[in-house]
Amino acid sequence: MSMVLRNGRVLAGEVFRDDIAVVIDDGRIADVLPADDARLAGLPVRDLEGGWLMPGFIDIQVNGGGGVLFNNDPTPDGLRTIAEAHRKFGTTGLLPTLISDTPEKMAL
């Protein structure tokens, strides 16, 4: 199902824009169009009420965060600490990775 996010401050590159709308289709960004584009007619609208809309960052090589290294604490609590630290900076998804180390450390 498609929907339109409009009336928000959209981060587009290095600037915020108030004159664009974002079309979401099946949970993904399908298009970014001028807010008054005729192709938006008839789609359900979610009014962002002037709020900010920014993409999330997905980091595909994370060794640690929040004072925790994945090599040293490969536990659910360690991962939670790492994820919470990265979330503060806009990361919405991450891939924990090991740092090359001694054979003992690598044999989790």
Q: What is the location of CATH 2.30.40.10 in the chain?
A: 2-51
Q: What are the Cα distances from residue 94, in Å, to 18, 34, 57, 58, 97?
A: 30, 32, 9, 6, 9
CATH node for 2-51: 2.30.40.10
Q: Is the pTM of this model over 0.85?
A: no
For residue range 61-82, what is the model confidence (pLDDT) as tens digits?
999 999 999 988 889 999 999 9
**What pLDDT is recorded for position 56?**
82
Question: Percent of the chain scored above 70 by pLDDT?
Answer: 98
Residue 45: band (very low, low, confident or very high) from pLDDT cuts 50, 70, 90: very high
For residue range 22-43, what is the model confidence (pLDDT) as tens digits?
999 988 889 999 999 998 999 9
Which residues, at least 6 apart from 88, have a Cβ–Cβ distance to it below 8 Å? none
